[in-house]
Structure 1
Amino acid sequence: MSRTARIERTTQESQVTVEVDLDGTGRSDVSTGVGFYDHMLDAFARHALLDLVVHTSGDTHIDAHHSVEDTAIVLGQALREALGDKSGIRRFGDATVPLDEALVQAVVDVSGRPYCVHTGEPEGQVYVAIGGTGAAYQGSLTRHVFETISFHAHLALHVRVLAGRDPHHLVEAQFKAFARAFRDAVAIDPRETGVPSTKGSL
């Protein structure tokens, strides 16, 4: 069974194409116009062990918000489509990931019910701008990205920042923790013969 998806979305603010293979090897080809976000999505693909292609062209001359948000929308949609009926998956995944002084826990339930709880970022993180040349990634976008992916992928996601100081490390540890939790949640369990729910569907 192929667990892949390709979705395109065009608005007056952006054009986004996402391809995903849940049973990949962590390869990525990401270009969003926001360099730090590219780095985070590369890290997500690598640590979730999925193959990911993301090509976004947006109004980054204004700021990064539309391109980051719209990419998260399409990524969530692609993850949901690639999961299909969710037959055979483990459903739940959790990971606690360090990056030097930063420590983050992420928990995923492929429940079919969108929900996101995001806590623990230090005061001031939302005001930080991260990035070199081009559009900067605003710290306030991190929660929004996870909320958007959760909504469109139909995941319940909890992200807790347990420690950290460096703005780059704080964001990267969150993406890596989400990646590892998602990887475990969508892994195929050979003992699971159907959908992992007493309702019979997710």
Structure 2
Amino acid sequence: MRKAKVERNTLETKVKVEIDLDGKGESQIRTGIGFLDHMLNLVAFHGSFDLNIECNGDLHVDGHHSAEDVGITLGQAFNKALGNKKGIKRYGSLYIPMDEALCRAALDISSRPYLVFDADFKSERLGEMSTQDFKEFFRAFANEAGVTLHLNVLYGENDHHKIEAAFKAFARALKEAVQVQSGTISSSKGVL
């Protein structure tokens, strides 16, 4: 079973993540940031991951620490659940439209973390979440999961639609990449 539980406790946040990569898309998300909860519920649903996340953060400061630490802890849990990565497809990519917005996601579960995040937002906030914190979430996830992640919001007018397309594309690319397709490591080096 490809499951993991990870906890991260700092002076700024307390985060618990449980993930099942072979789940049904069920989730219980409580980060204290409504918009982030909405996006993480989409990740669970569109990735077909069972995902439980609880974060108690210093929201009296702002949401930055919570968004980043949830990304860190989710990335650690994702990496732990993958184990030795034997047999996974490794790569995932696709385009996701959300009304007038279009996002492209491409990723490689390579143990070489890197993020390219190309999105232009008109709004400073969506709900109570700073639009700057989306990049911090994805960077934290990529670093801890060992994933090369390219997210490009190609166009769109509505910021909600743009970031929702990005999270859905991210989830669907992850779903594709974690599929077990063989009994071998998907690398000419013999290791991921």
TM-score over 0.5 for the pair = yes
SS class of match (2:174): helix
Residue 128 of structure 1 aligns with which residue?
124
- The equivalent position to 2:169 in structure 1, one of 168, 177, 182, is 177
Q: How many aligned positions are there? A: 192
Residue 85 of structure 1 aligns with which residue?
84
**Which structure 2 segments of 5+ residues have no match?**
none
- The equivalent position to 1:186 in structure 2, one of 173, 178, 186, is 178
Residue 141 of structure 1 aligns with which residue?
133
Q: Which amino acid aligns with 1:168?
A: H
Alignment of 1:29-178 (within 5 A): 29-119=28-118, 121-122=119-120, 125=121, 128-131=124-127, 136-178=128-170
Show structure 1 runs of 4+ deviating over 3 A.
none
Q: Which amino acid aligns with 1:195?
A: I
In structure 2, do the counterparts of structure 1 residues 40 and 75 end up closer, same or farther at CA, with 3 Å as the change threshold?
same
Give the drift of 1:194: 1.1
RMSD: 0.9
Give, in whole Å, the separation in 2 of the partners of 1:127 and 1:58.
23
Residue 18 of structure 2 aligns with which residue?
19
Give the drift of 1:144: 1.4
**Which structure 1 segments of 5+ residues have no match?**
none
Give the drift of 1:66: 0.8
SS class of match (2:24): coil
Give, in whole Å, the separation in 2 of the partners of 1:126 and 1:112.
33
Give the drift of 1:146: 1.1
- 1:196 counterpart = 2:186: yes
- Once the two structures are superposed, residues 37-69 of structure 1 have per-residue CA deviations (whole angstroms, 9 ceiling, x without a partner) of 000000011000100000000111111111111
**TM-score calculated relative to the size of structure 2:** 0.98
Could you tell me the percent identity over the aligned residues?
45
Q: Which amino acid aligns with 1:164?
A: G
Q: State whether residues 4 and 18 of structure 2, in contact with CA within 8 Å, keep that contact through their aligned partners in structure 1.
A: yes
Give the drift of 1:126: 6.9
Give the drift of 1:170: 1.0
